[in-house]
Amino acid sequence: MTTPLPGDESQVAAGHFSEGYKERNTLPLSRDHVEPERKSSLSSAHTLSVQESSATGNALASAAIGERRVGRGWWLFWSALIVLGLCLCTWQINRGQARAQHLEDAASAPELVMPDAPPASASLIELRGEWLPQHSLLLDNRTLDQRHGVAVLTPFKAEDGRWWLVERGFVPTPAPRVDPDVVTPLEPSAIRGRWQWLDSRGTSGGPLFGPNREGQRLQQIDLSAWQALGPPAYAGVLHQVSGIGQFAPWWQPGNMTPERHYAYALQWLGLSLGAAVVMVLGARRQRSSSLHQHHV
């Protein structure tokens, strides 16, 4: 065995010390050294998670607001369409009922001669007296057999002194906005016609485009055009069916049957039901699409 020299012993001891020092310094870090780093890492991860959650929440909130705005407009539009359809359905039903009542009244209407009491609608009335031709006016924009013209409106003064407004029939016009020549008998005569009540204002109703009267023409019947004669016998118009001074019969109490009005009402009801189905199904589809986008 080799005996180390005195100088070598010190070097060996120094080597052992150096190796021991390295081993001590290369040992795993203690818990006190690891915990701060782990806590710092967890804190950073938590901060990132909070930021991501906040961003996601903001996006979801914005999407929800947008969805509510779109949804509100969707519901309002289709709800308005449904209400419109129901209103038109009710209107057609009312017109059908009124038409049915009118046909019933016409079928049972009495024949009256110089009536002293307000006549029923569609009554057949006979008057004796004379025409007042100087007060004739023309009901504009009438058609008969694909011809354009006017209906002649002439007051008739009965033997008892009261005057009645009489619609005498259709006269074609020679050219647009040119008044036709209207001949009115001057001798006393007897006439017959169907009675029609006007509305509470003494008009036949309907839309007006500008002033009702233009020259000798009226857009709609309005008793105020004859106010110089004083109040009429009754607030209505007699549509002449016989007697001198009559022109081509033009007036019809209504061209549609009650059944046709009811058919239109059914169509409007179908529109409302269809709009309701589209509204509900469309809202569900919008909601499903929004939820899918949020998940993505």
pLDDT for residue 50 is more than 90 = no
What pLDDT does 237 receive? 98
In order, the DSSP letters of 244-256 are TT--B----S-SS
Euclidean distance between CA atoms 180 and 30, whole angstroms: 119
Euclidean distance between CA atoms 2 and 90, whole angstroms: 126
Euclidean distance between CA atoms 131 and 243, whole angstroms: 12
Kindly report the number of other CB atoms within 10 A of residue 102's CB atom. 17
What pLDDT does 291 receive? 59
Cα separations (Å) of 273 from 75, 166, 262, 282?
A: 14, 46, 16, 14
Q: CA 89 from chain center: how many Å?
A: 12
Q: Which neighbouring-strand residues pair with 192?
A: 126, 242
pLDDT for residue 289 is more than 80 = no
Angle at 147 between CA 144 and CA 152, to 5 degrees: 60
217-252 per-position pLDDT tens digit? 999 999 999 999 999 999 999 999 999 999 999 887
Q: Looking up tokens 């002033």, which residue turns up?
A: 211
Euclidean distance between CA atoms 257 and 246, whole angstroms: 27
| Amino acid residing at 225 | A
pTM, to two decimals: 0.58
74-130 per-position pLDDT tens digit? 889 989 999 999 999 999 999 899 888 878 877 777 899 999 999 988 899 999 999
What pLDDT does 210 receive? 87
Give SS3 for 151: strand
Domain boundaries, the chain: 36-111+256-296, 123-252
For the ranges 102-111, 256-265, 270-279, the lowest mean pLDDT is seen at 102-111
Q: Looking up tokens 């009495």, which residue turns up?
A: 110
Report residue 211 as tokens.
């002033």
The alpha carbon dihedral of 225, 230, 235, 238 has a sign of negative
C-beta separation of 154 from 184 below 8 A: yes
Q: Looking up tokens 């038109």, which residue turns up?
A: 88
